[in-house]
């Protein structure tokens, strides 16, 4: 990894309390190179510059890590080319993760990266979270569910609800957020939650405003 990219990754991760050793940095370098290479042939992400991949994909994914302390099983809904699930697995090998996305080429890329990095305890599934098959197979199985630009807040919370354990946590990774987004999502009609936390921050090495909302299943 080029020296500047390495610096961005290490210092940026440090802002979230994550210390990256040389082996993990090397794994992120492989991830970066493979994403750039695949993206030249098939459109996995509109973000193509290496610096932006590091900040807007890798570091953005790692920003949720400090809020997973009580989480041993994580469902990543609409994971795209593997974000945030794969970077989270890379820095926390004990975390059991299930990635699900409806776009086949993105899931193919996820599986390629998982094989290339030798990651275990993480599964990449092709399909839609709304399908009955997944509900029957995975209902009530996860400590936490996460979404990164998958849908609007209400949709994510409703879809995540049946997959969470009792008192499980849904983590919504958002950009600019308006208070009215939470209206109706905690009223008990479809998927009752309690808002447990709200964290606002600026993505490292950028001016991008980000926000993480933590909801507890009731």
Whole-number Å distance between alpha carbons of 151 and 60: 17
Question: Which phi and psi angles does 84 have, rounded to 5°?
Answer: -90, 0
Task: Give the pLDDT score at 163.
Answer: 97
pLDDT for the residue numbered 191: 72
Pick the more confident residue, 57 or 43: 57
Q: Let me know: does 141 contact 163? Beta carbons within 8 Å.
A: yes
The domain in which residue 102 lies consists of 55-217
User: What is the rounded average pLDDT of the residues 72-99?
Assistant: 97
Instruction: Identify the pLDDT of residue 188.
Output: 52
Q: What SS3 string covers the chain?
A: CCHHHHHHHHHHHHCCCCCCCHHHHHHHHHHHHHHHHHHCCCCCCCCCCHHHHHHHHHHHHHCCHHHCCCCCEEEEECCCCCCCHHHHHHHCCCCEEEEEECCHHHHHHHHHHHHHHCCCCEEEEECCCCCHHHHHHHCCCEEEEEEECCCCHHHHHHHHHHHEEEEEEEEEEECCCCHHHHCCCCCCCCCCEEEEEEEEEECCCCCCEEEEEEEEEC
Q: What is the mean pLDDT of residues 164-183?
A: 82
Q: Extract the runs of DSSP E, i.e. beta strands, from 65-121.
A: 73-77, 96-101
pLDDT (tens digit per residue) in 124-138:
999 999 999 999 999
CATH at residue 67: 3.40.50.150
Query: Does the pLDDT at position 58 exceed 60?
Result: yes
In-domain check, residue 25: no
Give Cβ neighbours of residue 189 (< 8 Å, ≥ 6 apart): none
* pLDDT for 64: 98
Establish if 31 belongs to a structural domain.
no
Position 69 in a domain? yes
Residue 26 in any domain: the answer is no
Judge whether residue 202 has pLDDT over 80: yes
Answer whether residue 205 is part of any domain: yes
Domain count, the chain: 1
Q: What's the mean pLDDT in 41-64?
A: 95
Q: Tell me the sheet residues that pair with 123.
A: 98
Cα angle 159-127-58, degrees, rounded to a multiple of 5: 80
Question: What's the CA gap between 119 and 114, in Å, rounded?
Answer: 5
Q: Is 163 helix (H, G, I), strand (E, B) or coil?
A: helix
pLDDT digits (tens, 9 = 90+) for 136-158: 999 999 999 999 977 889 899 99
43 in a domain, yes or no?
no
Question: What pLDDT is recorded for position 149?
Answer: 75
Does 82 reside within a domain? yes
pLDDT recorded at residue 85? 98
Residue 181 pLDDT > 70: no
**Local confidence band at 184 (pLDDT 50, 70, 90 cut-offs):** low
User: Tokens for 78?
Assistant: 């609409």
CB contact at 8 A, 211 and 199? yes
Q: Is pLDDT above 80 for 182? A: no
In a domain, 18, yes or no: no
Residue 117 in this model has a pLDDT that exceeds 70: yes
pLDDT given for residue 150 in this prediction? 78
Whole-number average pLDDT of the chain: 93
Residue 136 sits at φ, ψ, to 5 deg, of: -65, -35
Average pLDDT over residues 187-209: 87
Report residue 45's pLDDT band, with 50, 70 and 90 as the boundaries: very high
């Amino acid at each position: 990894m080029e020296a500047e990219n390495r610096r961005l990754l290490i210092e940026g991760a440090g802002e979230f309390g994550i210390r990256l050793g040389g082996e993990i940095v090397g794994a992120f370098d492989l991830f970066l190179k493979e994403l750039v290479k695949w993206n030249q042939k098939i459109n996995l992400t509109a973000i193509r510059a290496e610096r932006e991949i590091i900040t807007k994909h890798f570091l953005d994914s790692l920003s949720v890590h400090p809020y997973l302390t009580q989480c041993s099983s994580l469902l990543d809904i609409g994971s795209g080319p593997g974000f945030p699930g794969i970077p989270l697995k890379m820095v926390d090998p004990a975390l059991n993760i299930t990635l699900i996305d409806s776009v086949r080429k993105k899931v193919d890329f996820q599986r390629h990266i998982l094989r290339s990095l030798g990651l275990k305890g993480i599964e990449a599934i092709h399909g839609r979270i709304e399908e009955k098959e997944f509900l029957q197979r995975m209902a009530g199985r996860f400590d936490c569910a996460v979404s990164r630009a998958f849908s609007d807040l209400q949709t994510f919370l409703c879809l995540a609800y049946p997959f969470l354990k009792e008192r499980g946590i849904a983590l919504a990774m958002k950009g600019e957020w308006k208070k009215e987004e939470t209206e109706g999502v905690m009223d008990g009609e479809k998927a009752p939650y309690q808002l447990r936390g709200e964290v606002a921050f600026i993505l490292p090495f950028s001016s991008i405003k980000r926000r993480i909302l933590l909801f507890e299943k009731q």
